[in-house]
Amino acid sequence: MDKYMIVILYIIGTLGAILNIITFLQKQIRRNSCSLYFLSSSIIDFCIMNVFILMEIITTFNKPLSDRIYSTNIWCKVGNYIMFILPCLSSSYITLASIDRFCISSLNQTLRKCSNFKISRIVISM
């Protein structure tokens, strides 16, 4: 039962990430700096779904392939690092979107200037 549940969750998660990406790429929403953070988070979630969860599904149904993939030096070094970084980035982008909303709704003029598209692109590229 667990084998098939992860496949269902993979399909639903991938579909949700694709719909989020389509939504945040619309012209009216794209102008908002906060939507850039949400778009970046959705892209990272899509990558997580299609790299790590898909790999987990493949290795669940094919044990010899699992042994070959997880025993390589590249996977041990890079894979574990990426598996740690991507969820942290996704959560960080959602936090940055909240900070962006706080700045844009502030009464302080200096804080309101911090919420613009150029700054959000710079922060995401870091």
Burial class (CB within 10 angstroms; exposed 0-12, middle 13-18, buried 19+) of 3: exposed
What is the structure's pLDDT at 1?
54
For residues 29 and 122, what is the distance between their CA atoms, to the nearest angstrom? 19
- For residue 123, what are the contacts with CB-CB under 8 A and spacing of at least 6? 96
Please calculate the CA angle 41-42-47 and round it to the nearest 5 degrees. Answer: 100
- Provide φ and ψ at 72, rounded to 5°: -80, 150
What is the structure's pLDDT at 43?
93
Domains in the chain, number: 1
And the tokens for 93?
């982008």
Name the residue range of residue 52's domain. Answer: 2-125
pLDDT mean for each 10 residues of the chain (126 residues):
79 92 88 88 90 79 74 77 88 92 86 81 83
Greatest alpha-carbon span in the chain: 60
For residues 4 and 7, what is the distance between their CA atoms, to the nearest angstrom? 5
What is the structure's pLDDT at 2?
76
For residues 124 and 126, what is the distance between their CA atoms, to the nearest angstrom? 5
